[in-house]
């Protein structure tokens, strides 16, 4: 009976060995816990925890690698920190077999992937990783558009890119909140496309990058549109009495700035004792030009042509200059050009007074008959 009892015990032992394995066999190490993805502000603190099981006879490491895996830095081995940086520290808890890596005063360069590794052999290791993202304010990249010159009718493309975390959102708007060529006051996206540019589209565009960190970043993009001259004549018909000055005006809109000339009877005019030419640029695209007729004579009455030309085309405006009985003020205002002494000035003033009185009498008669 004793022999049967021993045989039964031996059978049970063999069965236990078959199911459990040899006594004292080492179980395979595993990483039971790793901290989830972390998003932190610059200057903050983060703790990354890695818990392992059955790894007492193996080497455990914290390793930092870049997002593209191109750069690897060993931070710790076992319970010892390898990196000599006072911002980094390592705690080991024997009861839970956890390795906690702490980083203080987080910098932008700390962003990356942190790996907890258990090295089993030269060719075999167990890893778990936690991404650390550092919030960074947007910075608009240098490869973004800064200025653009496009001919009218052609397409235009303005690009804006920015770094930062979270990924910045790009918004476009115009100076003074003018309507965008795409419609609306704002447009979201890295690329602003205008299919056919008009001269009204020229001006300053704002590329704004925002991700909720700090105040964001902004870049001014100047869109210049080249277009053929457009001329407007504020007074297509002017009149003045003999021997008085008169100004003929043209407003020119064009880019590039055009060459401007005045003609009468197909002859180009220049500044001399009979004419004075002047022009004033109020902006890159706007030019005011004035032809002053000095001491008007009979032969100076007639049609004048204001002409503007640039590489995209030509335009012209016409001004009809006729004779009047009463001097027009300004630029007359009693200043005749045919004499400079006191007597001639007195005669001029007297004639102007007489003309004014006659005009008032004529107006009174007209009202009486009406």
| pLDDT per residue rounded down to tens, the chain (370 residues) | 445 544 544 444 444 434 444 444 568 899 999 999 999 999 999 999 999 999 888 989 999 998 888 889 999 999 999 999 999 999 999 999 999 999 999 999 999 999 999 999 888 999 999 999 999 999 999 999 999 999 999 999 999 999 999 999 999 999 999 999 999 999 999 999 999 999 999 999 999 999 999 889 999 999 999 999 999 999 999 999 999 999 999 999 999 999 999 999 999 999 999 999 999 998 889 999 999 999 999 999 999 999 999 999 999 999 999 999 999 988 777 554 433 344 444 444 545 555 555 556 555 554 555 5
Query: Are the C-beta atoms of residues 126 and 32 closer than 8 Å to each other?
Result: no
Q: The pTM is what? A: 0.67
**Main-chain phi, psi angles of 114, to 5 degrees:** -105, 125
Residue 316 and residue 173: Cα distance in Å, rounded? 35
For CA atoms 182, 185, 187, 191, the dihedral sign is positive
Q: Is 55 helix (H, G, I), strand (E, B) or coil?
A: coil
Q: What is the pLDDT of residue 4?
A: 52
Q: What is the pLDDT of residue 91?
A: 95
Query: Are the C-beta atoms of residues 274 and 329 closer than 8 Å to each other?
Result: no
27's tokens:
């179980």
176's tokens:
């003074």
Residue 348 and residue 244: Cα distance in Å, rounded? 10
Q: What is the pLDDT of residue 262?
A: 98
Query: Are the C-beta atoms of residues 238 and 250 closer than 8 Å to each other?
Result: no
> Residue 317: how many CB atoms within 10 A of its CB?
22
If 0-12 CB within 10 Å is exposed, 13-18 middle and 19+ buried, where does residue 332 land? Answer: buried
Residue 56 and residue 29: Cα distance in Å, rounded? 9
Residue 192 and residue 181: Cα distance in Å, rounded? 9
Residue 87 and residue 94: Cα distance in Å, rounded? 23
DSSP single-letter state for residue 87:
T
């Amino acid at each position: 009976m004793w022999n049967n009892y021993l045989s039964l015990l031996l059978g049970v032992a063999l069965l236990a060995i078959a199911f459990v394995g040899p006594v004292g066999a080492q179980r395979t190490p595993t990483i039971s816990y790793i901290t989830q993805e972390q998003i932190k502000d610059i200057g903050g603190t983060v703790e990354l925890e890695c818990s392992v099981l059955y790894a007492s006879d193996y080497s455990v490491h914290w390793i930092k690698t870049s997002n593209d895996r191109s750069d690897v830095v060993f931070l710790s081995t076992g319970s010892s920190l390898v990196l000599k940086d006072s911002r980094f520290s390592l705690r080991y808890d024997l009861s839970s077999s956890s390795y906690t890596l702490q980083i203080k005063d987080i910098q932008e360069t700390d962003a990356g992937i942190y790996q907890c590794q258990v090295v089993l052999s030269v060719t075999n290791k167990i890893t778990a990783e936690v991404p650390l993202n550092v919030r960074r304010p947007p910075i608009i990249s240098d490869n973004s558009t800064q200025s653009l010159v496009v001919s009218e009718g052609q397409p235009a493309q303005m690009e804006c890119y920015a770094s930062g975390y979270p990924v910045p959102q790009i918004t476009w708007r115009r100076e003074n909140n003018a309507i965008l060529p795409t419609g609306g006051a704002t447009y979201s996206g890295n690329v602003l496309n205008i299919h056919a540019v008009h001269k009204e589209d020229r001006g300053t565009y704002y590329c704004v990058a925002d991700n909720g960190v700090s105040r964001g970043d902004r870049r001014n993009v100047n869109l210049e549109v080249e277009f053929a001259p457009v001329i407007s004549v504020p007074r297509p018909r002017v009149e003045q009495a003999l021997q008085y000055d008169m100004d003929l005006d043209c407003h020119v809109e064009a880019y590039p700035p055009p060459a401007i000339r005045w003609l009468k009877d197909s002859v180009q005019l220049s500044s001399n004792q009979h004419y004075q030419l002047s022009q004033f640029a109020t902006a890159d695209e706007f030019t005011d030009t004035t032809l002053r007729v000095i001491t008007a004579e009979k032969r100076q009455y007639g049609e004048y042509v204001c002409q503007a030309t640039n590489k995209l085309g030509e335009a012209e405006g016409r001004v009809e200059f006729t004779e009047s009985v009463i001097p027009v003020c300004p630029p007359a205002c009693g200043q005749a050009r045919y004499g400079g002494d006191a007597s001639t000035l007195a005669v001029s003033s007297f004639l102007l007074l007489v003309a004014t009185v006659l005009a008032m009498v004529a107006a009174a008669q007209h009202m009486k008959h009406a």
